Amino acid sequence: MDEFLSFVARNPVLFTLFGVVTLLLIANELHGILRGGKRLTPTEAVRLSNDRDAQFIDVRSPADFKRGHVIGAVNVPSAKLDEHKKVLDKVKTKPVIVYCALGGTAPAVVEKLRQRGFEEAYAMRGGINAWQGAGLPIRTPSS
């Protein structure tokens, strides 16, 4: 413990920066939970899809969707939610897993969906990048 206190005393700027970064990470997680509820990992999303026939909703642009998306996902760009009311109404009774590129946009879309009566809407943590990072399959133009 004495070594730790000595380190802190010798490196106050480094220790302060560490504390700030830690607080920002905690605040970011709390903000995501309060805004979009529970965020699923790609593995949890697969489990929910397999167990309860959840619908994946890709909120990226149509061009990004065409380059590769989760198999069975529908493309509903986040800026055009109102234009896709019919598509969304068809899956309103199912669990819905919303994803974007990195996981930053999906929680806001989940919040909007919940305001529209979606009881089970979840954001996927890390987006399509986390999905691919976990080695899960995607549909590409060549597949």
| pLDDT value, residue 35 | 58
| pLDDT value, residue 33 | 62
Q: What is the mean pLDDT of each run of 10 residues along the chain (143 residues)?
A: 87 91 82 69 96 96 96 94 89 94 91 91 95 94 74
Residues 61 and 109 in one domain: yes
Q: Is residue 19 part of a domain?
A: yes
- Distance (Å, rounded) from C-alpha 43 to C-alpha 37? 17
Residues 108 and 122 in one domain: yes
- Tokens representing 111 are 């919040």
Q: Is residue 125 part of a domain?
A: yes
| pLDDT value, residue 39 | 86
- Distance (Å, rounded) from C-alpha 41 to C-alpha 55? 15
Q: Is residue 25 part of a domain?
A: yes
| pLDDT value, residue 112 | 92
The CATH number for 78's domain is: 3.40.250.10
Q: Is residue 91 part of a domain?
A: yes
- Distance (Å, rounded) from C-alpha 113 to C-alpha 123? 11
Helix locations, the chain, DSSP H: 2-10, 12-36, 42-52, 62-67, 85-90, 106-115, 127-133
- Distance (Å, rounded) from C-alpha 134 to C-alpha 84? 29
Can you give the residue range of the structural domain that contains 109?
A: 39-135
pTM of this structure? 0.76
Residues 65 and 47 in one domain: yes
Residues 26 and 61 in one domain: no
- Distance (Å, rounded) from C-alpha 89 to C-alpha 116? 10
| pLDDT value, residue 143 | 65
| pLDDT value, residue 38 | 77
Q: Is residue 141 part of a domain?
A: no
Residues 57 and 118 in one domain: yes
Q: Is residue 140 part of a domain?
A: no
Count structural domains, the chain: 2
The CA angle 36-66-37, to the nearest 5 degrees, is 5
